[in-house]
């Protein structure tokens, strides 16, 4: 039974649980979602630290220079009134110092230092100024970006606890499909296989298998137990060679979504196999397949990979919607608004290829803020 688009997306999110947590070395965590928050092992900075190359000074000048410290040196002895210590950026600042005077604001005559003084504490990064030991720096569910890796390393981590990435196997079906060269009457180039890997960021793609319209081969492919998610492309409709629904019945699958009230992407489906693996059926029309990726596949992978659902991105938009179904319309963003790209027939990816996002347009005439689904890789909303 055809399901409203919003409910279908939520059903995909709720169909599974996050995969198990694994502890991995920092570089291997990139792109995974944190299974626990990243906490600081120590204060940052761990001691009062100079933010400038210059002199740490105590009291009023002129000062007598009594020492010199570089980044990496031990904390120098405390300063007394009218004493100074030459400090490098990143060097520990001695106790008793009131501020650091940058080198360009100083004059040194032998060991006698004069210079312009600023306010108390100037150019000193105080111990714990950035964060304190035990602070949560990044919450669980955050996708590990390059900046998260750098932050985690800076906060003293060598490993991170992340959710295992979902393993995805893709099966592309169709007697008519070509994998190279130009299409010709009766033969069509596979446009979905090449599109999918870039839409599965945060997952491990095990491989893409091309099959003829053969129910036994399809059933075999869907029993690949190395995968958490099986993506079947084509064969979702009701034609004589559209075997997916029949094969799912044979495999005792529970069909969770059988058709979605959205254009394109009407016949997309979601099913759970008896062993817990999940099948997503993408319609053969390539733009309809993309619509099913953003509606069912990416939300499903988002939950499996443990990602926090991000707040919707919206833009002002006006369109004549479908009478009963949600429309997914390729758009480009302009300031706070969005404009349709056109060229969005279900069999064509032309509009989507020129677009920044798909606008989610509810049924009926629409004018106002619409949700945008980014078309860059990894939209796991
Ligand atoms: N009687 C009905 N017929 C159809 C309905 C319906 O409700 N009743 N729905 C239509 C809609 S909407 C769609 S979408 C398609 C979905 O069809 P399938 O998922 O079964 O896919 P196919 O029949 O195999 O192919 C449809 C179309 O797409 C081309 N195709 C297939 N795979 C690819 C690929 N990998 N790359 C590029 N193009 C592909 C294929 O050649 C067909 O032209 O069903 C409608 N029919
Ligand atoms: O809705 Mo189909 O999915 O038009 O192409």
Q: Is the beta carbon of 263 within 6 A of some atom in ligand 2? A: yes
Q: What are the C-alpha distances in Å from 11 to residues 258, 269, 272, 289, 303?
A: 11, 11, 12, 18, 11
Dihedral pair phi/psi, residue 50, rounded to 5°: -75, 140
The ipTM is: 0.98
Q: CA end-to-end span of the chain, whole Å?
A: 24
Ligand nearest to the CA of 284: 1
Query: For a substitution probing ligand 1, which of 283, 290, 291 has the most ligand atoms within 8 Å of its CB?
Result: 283
Residue 48 contacts residue 121 (beta carbons within 8 Å): no
What pLDDT, on the 0 to 100 scale, is given for residue 377?
53
Residue with tokens 């792109």: 31
Residue 8 has pLDDT above 90, yes or no: yes
Residue 362 contacts residue 261 (beta carbons within 8 Å): no
Residue 77 contacts residue 96 (beta carbons within 8 Å): no
Residue 380 has pLDDT above 90, yes or no: no
Residue nearest to atom 5 of ligand 2 (CA): 346
**Ligand 1 centre distance from Cα of residue 183 (Å):** 16
DSSP E strands, 290-364: 313-320, 326-334, 337-340, 357-361
Range 255-284 average pLDDT: 97
- Return d(Cα 291, Cα 168) in angstroms, integer: 18
Q: Render pLDDT for 206-225 as a digit per residue (tens, 0 to 9).
A: 999 999 999 999 999 998 88
Q: What is the DSSP letter of 4?
A: E
Query: In the predicted model, what is the mean pLDDT of the chain?
Result: 95
Residue nearest to atom 1 of ligand 2 (CA): 264
- Return d(Cα 331, Cα 354) in angstroms, integer: 8
Closest atom of ligand 2 to CA, residue 265: 3
What pLDDT, on the 0 to 100 scale, is given for residue 379?
43
Residue 152 has pLDDT above 80, yes or no: yes
Range 251-277 average pLDDT: 97
What pLDDT, on the 0 to 100 scale, is given for residue 201?
84
264 prior amide bond cis, ω within 30: yes
Query: For a substitution probing ligand 2, which of 242, 265, 282 has the most ligand atoms within 8 Å of its CB?
Result: 265
Query: For a substitution probing ligand 2, which of 5, 233, 283, 330 has the most ligand atoms within 8 Å of its CB?
Result: 283
Closest atom of ligand 2 to CA, residue 268: 3
Q: What is the pTM of this model?
A: 0.93
Q: Is the beta carbon of 208 within 6 A of some atom in ligand 1? A: no
**Percent of the chain whose pLDDT exceeds 90:** 92
- Return d(Cα 134, Cα 202) in angstroms, integer: 28
Range 272-298 average pLDDT: 97
Residue nearest to atom 45 of ligand 1 (CA): 237
**Ligand 2 centre distance from Cα of residue 287 (Å):** 8
Residue 381 has pLDDT above 50, yes or no: no
Q: Render pLDDT for 67-108 as a digit per residue (tens, 0 to 9).
A: 999 999 999 999 999 999 999 999 999 999 999 999 999 999
Residue 52 has pLDDT above 60, yes or no: yes
Q: Which DSSP helix (H) or strand (E) runs through 171?
A: strand 167-173
Residue nearest to atom 3 of ligand 2 (CA): 265
Q: Render pLDDT for 336-349 as a digit per residue (tens, 0 to 9).
A: 999 999 999 999 99
Q: What are the C-alpha distances in Å from 96 to residues 48, 56, 72, 100, 134?
A: 11, 9, 20, 11, 27
Domains of the chain, earliest start first: 3-20+164-304 (3.40.980.10), 25-43+140-163 (no CATH), 49-125 (2.170.190.11), 313-374 (2.40.340)
Ligand nearest to the CA of 210: 1
Range 108-125 average pLDDT: 91
Query: For a substitution probing ligand 2, which of 263, 296, 344, 351 has the most ligand atoms within 8 Å of its CB?
Result: 263
Range 30-51 average pLDDT: 97
């Amino acid at each position: 039974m055809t399901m409203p688009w919003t409910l279908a997306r939520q059903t995909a999110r709720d169909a599974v649980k996050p995969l198990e947590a694994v502890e991995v070395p920092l570089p291997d965590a990139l792109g995974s979602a944190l299974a626990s928050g990243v906490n600081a092992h120590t204060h940052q900075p761990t001691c009062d630290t100079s933010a400038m190359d210059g002199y740490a000074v105590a009291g009023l000048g002129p000062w007598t220079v009594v020492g010199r410290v570089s980044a990496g040196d031990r904390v120098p002895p405390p300063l007394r009134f009218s004493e100074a210590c030459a400090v490098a950026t990143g060097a520990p600042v001695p106790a008793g110092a009131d501020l650091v005077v940058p080198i360009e604001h100083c004059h040194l005559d032998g060991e006698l230092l004069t210079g312009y003084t600023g306010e108390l504490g100037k150019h000193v990064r105080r111990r714990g100024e950035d964060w304190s030991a035990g602070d949560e720096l990044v919450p669980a569910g955050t996708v590990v970006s390059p900046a998260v890796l750098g932050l985690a390393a800076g906060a003293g981590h060598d490993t991170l606890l992340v959710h295992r990435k979902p393993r995805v196997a893709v099966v592309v079906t169709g007697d008519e499909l070509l994998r190279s060269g130009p299409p010709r009457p009766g033969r069509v180039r596979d446009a979905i296989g090449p599109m999918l890997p870039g839409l599965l960021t945060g997952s491990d793609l095990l491989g893409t298998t091309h099959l003829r319209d053969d129910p036994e081969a399809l059933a075999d492919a869907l029993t690949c137990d190395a995968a958490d998610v099986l993506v079947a492309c084509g064969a979702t409709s009701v034609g004589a060679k559209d075997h997916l629904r029949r094969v799912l019945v044979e495999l005792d699958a529970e069909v969770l979504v059988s058709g979605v009230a959205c254009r394109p992407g009407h016949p997309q489906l979601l099913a759970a196999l008896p062993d817990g693996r999940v099948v997503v059926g993408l319609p053969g029309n390539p733009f309809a397949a993309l619509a099913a990726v953003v509606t069912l596949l990416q939300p499903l992978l988002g939950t499996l990979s443990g990602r926090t659902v991000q707040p919707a991105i919206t833009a002002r938009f006006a369109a004549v919607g479908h009478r009963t179904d949600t429309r997914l319309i390729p758009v480009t963003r302009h300031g706070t608004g969005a404009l349709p790209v056109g060229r969005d027939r279900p069999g064509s990816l032309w509009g989507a290829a020129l677009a920044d996002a798909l606008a989610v347009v509810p049924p009926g005439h629409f004018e106002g803020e619409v949700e945008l689904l980014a078309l860059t890789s990894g939209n796991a909303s």
